[in-house]
Structure 1
Amino acid sequence: MGVDFSESVPAPNQDAIATALLQLVAVVAQLRDPEQGCPWDREQTPTSLIPYVLEEAYEVVHALRQGNPNAIAEELGDLLLQVVLQAQIASESQQFDLATVADGITEKLIRRHPHVFGEAIAETPEAVQATWQAIKAREKGEVAETLTHCLSRYAATLPPLTAALKISQRAAKAGFEWPNLAGVWDKFEEELAELKEALDSGDRDHAEAELGDLLFSLVNIARWCQLDPVAALQGTNDRFVARFQKVEAAAGQSLDSLGIETLEKLWQQAKRELGQSSV
């Protein structure tokens, strides 16, 4: 790689990191042992583990939002396990191993940061991003990544709400944008009316398509107002659960035995106790 990192990490930390990673690799290899391993771990495949990769990634995000160092370390460990386990499974069929994974990302970081590891100059985050994209395009043998290719990648790989925001941002950057916020609100009202019409028609597929259009228009509003729709929805989910917990505790009985008026009173009480923006 042509870069000496021998002094980047203090020697005691180097030893501790290497020992911990090697021990984790050894434990995972033992779990996958055909004769003395764990029956559950032995039967896993790269695709059967997909739900766990997603789950652990989201749990890392939750821990980061909570800001609890112990929880962050624990959840990062769970996510690291998924990386090591995938590499172990691949190594068993001589596809690749953890060293391949680590070497690959290290070399990529060095190649795409010539302003750090080379002679290039990039003094702003925007300049760094432009350099990264240009190098990425060259690596893939492309003149440049087309906007359609970029949007397709967002749609295929990101959670839908995050993808919608990314798609909206990139399309706007390319000039596919409303002249003002009033136009965005008009589009929202148009999509809302079309959803109501589709629902009245009884055509489920049409209604679902119009619901998607309405949600996308809300994402556009959020972008215009510099709001994060993912964080906004997460906050609403958290508040709903917190308030619902209060309602259950105050009810002292099965909620389905109470009328909607009673439930609404308990809900409003929970809102007052927690505050409009409490989580």
Structure 2
Amino acid sequence: MSTAESDSTLAALQELIEVVAKLRSPQGGCPWDLAQTPQTLTPYVLEEAYEVVDAIKNGDRAHICEELGDLLLQIVLQAQIASEAGDFTLAEVAQGISEKLIRRHPHVFSDVEANTIAEVHQNWEQIKAAEKGETNTPLSQKLQRYARTLPPMTAAMKISTKAASAGFEWDSVEGVWDKFDEELAEFKHALEAETPIEQASELGDLLFTLVNIARWYDLDPADALQETNYRFLRRLQVLETFADKPLADYTLGELEQLWQKTKASLAQHKP
């Protein structure tokens, strides 16, 4: 980055900081912004993060830029509120992540050798464990944070991957399929004879096993489900163009015929 670009970036960030500070000012600020707390803003952090991911997947550069701005606003807002409470500042946030990156990249900022991605990852995990005091921490305790902080399917993938790398793994993918059959049978039994709580428990076991199958085949279950959601909505949208009355007025057989017509139409127009 050139000096001019760096100066421009810093000036833009400073302007954003000042705008947010003004919104939070008791003198002439925005009542909505003044009413916010770190807790009330949490849903917006998640929403904006997901919207950034969606924009990246769609490849719209202008949309990506806009959504990154919305996410950056949430970071600056959180830091502004923390600064007002005397907890920490945006400068401390930036300084902290810079120091962390330097610590975790000794192959770039020091004399450690790491010539492959695998070596970089191994160094990163070792340094991360040392930072968190987890060198001798039980595996279950290390994995707790994924269950707490990640969406359930993403957490399941992360937990199963980490557990497998620690040796908690099937000998072959056939063993995973056997486990799937076992969990499917238990889920079916629960639906027929158990309580809703036990049914939900067996459903969770079945889904966790599916996540493990996805891991064995190098598939991302969260991405796969997301794409299925999109595909269903695309098909529903086309189906609605074929319908000449409300969908609730069709029989199940008629809806199936429309569905097959929709799939055939989309297949013909596939690029």
TM-score normalised by structure 2 residue count: 0.95
What is the match of residue 105 of structure 1?
97
What is the match of residue 64 of structure 1?
56
Runs of 4+ deviating beyond 6 Å: 276-279
2:149 counterpart of 1:160: no
2:219 counterpart of 1:219: no
**Structure-2 change in CA distance of 1:276 and 1:204 (3 Å):** farther
What is the match of residue 173 of structure 1?
165
**Cα displacement (A) at 1:202:** 4.5
Q: Is the 2:134–2:142 Cα contact (8 Å) retained in structure 1? A: no
Of 186, 197, 217, which aligns to 2:189? 197
Of 219, 228, 236, which aligns to 1:236? 228
Q: Deviations over 1:59-99 (max 9, x none)?
A: 11111111111111111111101000000111111111111
Percent of pairs with identical residues: 56
What is the match of residue 126 of structure 2?
134
Partner amino acid, structure 2, of 1:78: D
Inter-partner Cα distance in structure 2 for 1:30 and 1:254 = 50
Q: Is the 1:134–1:144 Cα contact (8 Å) retained in structure 2? A: no
Inter-partner Cα distance in structure 2 for 1:57 and 1:143 = 31
What is the match of residue 142 of structure 2?
150
What is the match of residue 11 of structure 1?
3
Of 9, 30, 34, which aligns to 1:42? 34
**Structure-2 change in CA distance of 1:267 and 1:187 (3 Å):** same
**Structure-2 change in CA distance of 1:215 and 1:98 (3 Å):** same
Inter-partner Cα distance in structure 1 for 2:269 and 2:100 = 42
What is the match of residue 85 of structure 1?
77
Inter-partner Cα distance in structure 2 for 1:47 and 1:151 = 24
Inter-partner Cα distance in structure 1 for 2:267 and 2:205 = 32
What is the match of residue 4 of structure 1?
none
Inter-partner Cα distance in structure 1 for 2:212 and 2:129 = 28
Question: Cα RMSD (Å) of the superposition?
Answer: 1.8
**Cα displacement (A) at 1:144:** 4.3
2:241 counterpart of 1:249: yes
Q: Which runs of 5+ in 2 are unaligned?
A: none
TM-score normalised by structure 1 residue count: 0.92
Inter-partner Cα distance in structure 2 for 1:19 and 1:110 = 25
When the two structures are aligned, how many residues end up with a matched partner?
Answer: 271
Mean Cα deviation higher: 80-89 or 244-253:
244-253
